[in-house]
């Protein structure tokens, strides 16, 4: 059996066929670049995945770990129903300021940016739970910590999405990993194994370019 590995030409194909980004989303990337933020927003196709999965799940209350410039936040917010809400966590006040402007320009009124280290700040929103979906996309070393929080604060049937679970191509054991990535890569291996070995989650990895983990809380 041939295993599927997403390659660049597949991603380019998707983006050539699907209208992945409108002018507004392209401008979010541009404003982020101009403000000196790192270019690590989800890609165009993953933006589509986020929107479709949020809508497909019927999520109304979504939590995001890692706001950056609000690119993925807009993708999520556009898929929410009118009463939907998004709580998004960002360590950096500078990034949060860019994201606040993004949400204002996008006329996204349902998003609340919480500034600070997400693991410490998550308890402050527990009163609004249980939540329907948690998107994890920051602080790879603590992915398992965010998964534990998600389990405790999602409804049964709620889901987790997690970006970058292929660890920039270094996830497979035996891969030569640059020293500065070692801790994150190991943490992502532990995260994937934790998801795979836990009957409380029905889980898989969608083989996008970055690897998008998808897990449903089943009990
Ligand atoms: N989801 C965004 C990209 C997030 S990049 C998008 O696709 O558009 C990761 C972001 O998480 C960065 O802005 C970084 O500053 C922030 N971050 C890193 N560690 C964090 C932590 N411990 N708590 C909250 N945010 C963190
Ligand atoms: C990095 C983080 C991300 O979430 C991502 O999608 C790509 C790169 C990084 O920390 O380098
Ligand atoms: Mg990411």
Q: For residue 32, what pLDDT is reported?
A: 98
Q: Which residues of the chain have pLDDT under 70?
A: 1-7
pLDDT tens by residue, 141-154: 999 999 999 999 99
Predicted TM-score (pTM) above 0.95: yes
Report the atom number in ligand 2 closest to the C-alpha of 137: 4
Q: For residue 14, what pLDDT is reported?
A: 85
Report the atom number in ligand 2 closest to the C-alpha of 164: 6
Strands 201-206 and 212-217, by their bridges, are: antiparallel
If you write DSSP's letter for every residue of 14-64 in order, what string do you get?
HHHHS----HHHHHHHHHHHHTT--S-SPPHHHHHHHHHHHHHHT-SEEEE
Query: What is the DSSP secondary structure assignment for residue 11, as one 8-state letter?
Result: H
pLDDT tens by residue, 114-140: 999 999 999 999 999 999 999 999 999
Q: Is the CB of 76 under 6 A from ligand 1?
A: no
Task: Give the distance (Å) from ligand 2 centre to CA of residue 142.
Answer: 14
């Amino acid at each position: 059996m041939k295993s599927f590995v997403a390659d660049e030409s597949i991603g380019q194909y998707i983006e050539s066929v699907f209208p992945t980004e409108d002018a507004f989303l392209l401008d979010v990337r541009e404003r982020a670049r101009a403000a000196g933020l790192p270019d690590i927003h989800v890609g165009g196709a993953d933006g589509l995945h986020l929107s479709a999965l949020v809508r497909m799940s019927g999520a109304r209350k979504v939590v995001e770990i890692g706001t950056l410039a609000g690119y993925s936040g807009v993708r999520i917010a556009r898929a929410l129903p009118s009463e939907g809400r998004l709580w998004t966590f960002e360590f950096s006040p500078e990034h949060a300021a860019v994201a606040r402007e993004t949400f204002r320009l996008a006329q996204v009124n349902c998003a609340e940016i919480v500034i600070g280290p997400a693991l410490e700040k998550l308890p402050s929103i527990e009163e609004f739970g249980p939540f329907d979906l948690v998107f994890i996309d920051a602080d790879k070393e603590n992915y398992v910590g965010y998964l534990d929080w998600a389990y405790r604060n999602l409804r049964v049937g709620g889901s987790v999405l997690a970006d970058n679970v292929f660890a920039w191509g270094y996830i497979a054991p035996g891969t030569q990993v640059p020293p500065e990535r070692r801790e994150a890569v190991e943490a992502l291996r532990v995260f994937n194994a934790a998801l795979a070995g836990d009957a409380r989650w029905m889980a898989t990895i969608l083989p996008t370019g970055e690897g998008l983990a998808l897990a449903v809380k089943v009990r």
